[in-house]
Amino acid sequence: MNALVTPKRGCLGDIKWVGFDVDGVMTDGGIIISDSGEESKRFHSRDGHGLKMLLRAGVEVAIITGRQSQVVANRARELGIKDTRQGVFNKLAAYEAILNEKGLSHSQTAFAGDDVVDLPILTRCGLAMAPADACPEALAAAHFVAKAKGGHGAVREMVEFILKSQGLWDDLLAKYRF
């Protein structure tokens, strides 16, 4: 069962921008580094399709992550995510910069995070989200907790929740029916 606490700021229909952490949210948190230094991560295909659906619905998507990885840059490009901030030490500063650049208020944003480094954003955004296996502090800060763990469909659940809450899901699904 998904946990949902009514967002404190704004309403779900106001969400115009959704940010995601990577490790532990878009992936299971595992990082594989080969002997030659090549990095790999595992992403869930339905999560990726959900992100594309969110973009098609006109909701902006961004990545804010503490690590720097070519794998993440490749995945973002593949999905059409143009705003990718990697190697970010202060995620809140990156989030605030995005809000300023886009002229958004906190109530118009959602963010998905899984660890204590995400708390500053989770406690300010309009809709805070976390995968089922997030740390206790992130779970406590979340308005929506996915049933799935990070990298195992949690992002898709979050996306569907937003799109359904905004009344956009059925129109998007109609494009897949013949």
pLDDT digits (tens, 9 = 90+) for 10-54: 457 789 999 999 999 999 999 999 999 888 999 999 999 999 999
Instruction: Report d(CA 48, CA 58) in Å as an integer.
Output: 16
Residue 140, class by beta-carbon neighbours within 10 Å (0-12 exposed, 13-18 middle, 19+ buried)? middle
**Is the pLDDT reported for residue 9 higher than 70?**
no
Which helix (H) or strand (E) segment holds residue 138: the answer is helix 136-141
Helix/strand/coil for 61: strand
Comparison of pLDDT for 9 and 130, the residue scoring more: 130
What domains are there in the chain, each with its CATH number?
3-174 (3.40.50.1000)
Percent of the chain with pLDDT over 70: 93
**Is the pLDDT reported for residue 166 higher than 80?**
yes
Both tokens assigned to 173 = 């699904």
Q: What phi and psi values does residue 97 have, to the nearest 5 degrees?
A: -60, -40
Residue 2: band (very low, low, confident or very high) from pLDDT cuts 50, 70, 90:
low
Q: Helices 70-79 & 45-56, crossing angle to 10 degrees?
A: 50
Q: What is the pTM of this model?
A: 0.92
